[in-house]
Amino acid sequence: MTLTHTTVLLEEAVHALAIKPNGIYVDCTFGRGGHSRLILSRLGPGGRLIAFDKDPMAIAEAATITDPRFTIVHEGFVNLQKELNLREIESVDGVLMDLGVSSPQLDDASRGFSFRFDAPLDMRMDTTRGMTAAEWLNLADEKEIAEVVKDYGEERFAKQVAAAIVASRAGEPILSTGQLSQIVATAVRSREPGQNPATRTFQAIRIYINRELEELALTLPQALEMLNQGGRFSVIAFHSLEDRIVKRFLQDAAQGDKLPSRLPVRAADIAEPPVKIMGKPIRASEKEVDENPRARSAILRTAERTGMAL
């Protein structure tokens, strides 16, 4: 079965980068290559694109691109600066981050991301390394599970979910998505209309297993530091937790030095901040959401590097 992926905010995100034909660009999440291919189509002969991805399936897809201007790196974007420096790249003209899980990852039952299938409970973006969701669920104590489900899933029944998981695994290990989904359903007493009771718990465990929020917070300063003057930084987020991190980071960078409110300083004497936020956040159009419902929660934020030092 061929699993397809429709790239969200494709034209908007690449347009926001203001591609320079001979510039150097980074796609932090190659996925199935939608953004990367469009960036390559807008680069000139001297341009270059470096893409990152943890997922072995994404790496396999990237291998089909034979363009000499393109490089794929089998690493998470948290290693952005290190990997670029290893390739003797000290600065870039644009960085794109398309966060979250891709459609092929959700739709491939064997990956264990979705409660829609009964499959091994894996949830790793990179299936070649790290602890699976099943391994963690059968080792973590009740308090830790409750904290993860509450903090990363914003699940109000987190304590009940954790208690149900610990009680269930006492009888037999939790190894499949079907098991976990059924356990959560017994603990979540109410849910938003149309939403599966396991939605928030699955999101929370996936985020935790892949260190998604921690790696995002560590990568944002790296991306900003690597940008040339006039370089653009665009991020597509899909849920409030990751968007909140991006929003606050960009707002802080765009404020520059925070001076006391009553300090008598002329506006002309205040140094320009290192970042300028470019317009308002962009969301998917009604047409795009109709064609791809997973675009509904997407939000694109873009900032431009000024000439000021960090």
Residue-wise pLDDT tens digits, 81-103: 999 999 999 999 999 999 977 76
Instruction: List CB contacts of 95: < 8 A, sequence separation 6 or more.
Output: 25, 26, 28, 80, 223, 226, 227, 231, 232, 233, 234
Residue-wise pLDDT tens digits, 214-237: 999 999 999 999 999 999 999 999
Residue-wise pLDDT tens digits, 239-282: 999 999 999 999 999 986 555 555 555 555 556 789 999 999 99
**What is the overall mean pLDDT for the chain?**
91
3-state secondary structure of 277: strand
Distance CA 153, CA 64 (A): 36
23 is in an annotated binding site: no
Cβ neighbours of 6 (radius 10 Å): 14
Distance CA 85, CA 81 (A): 6
pLDDT at 31 over 60: yes
202 is in an annotated binding site: no
Token pair 């995100």 is found at 13
34 is in an annotated binding site: yes
Closest C-alpha among 21, 36, 28, 11 to residue 235: 28
Full set of structural domains in the chain with CATH: 10-103+212-305 (3.40.50.150), 126-209 (1.10.150.170)
Q: What single DSSP character describes residue 110?
A: G
Distance CA 96, CA 27 (A): 5
pLDDT at 1 over 50: no
Instruction: List CB contacts of 108: < 8 A, sequence separation 6 or more.
Output: 3, 57
Helix ranges (DSSP H) in 4-87: 10-16, 34-42, 56-62, 80-86
pLDDT at 287 over 50: yes
For residue 233, give the amino acid letter.
F
Closest C-alpha among 55, 9, 5 to residue 28: 55
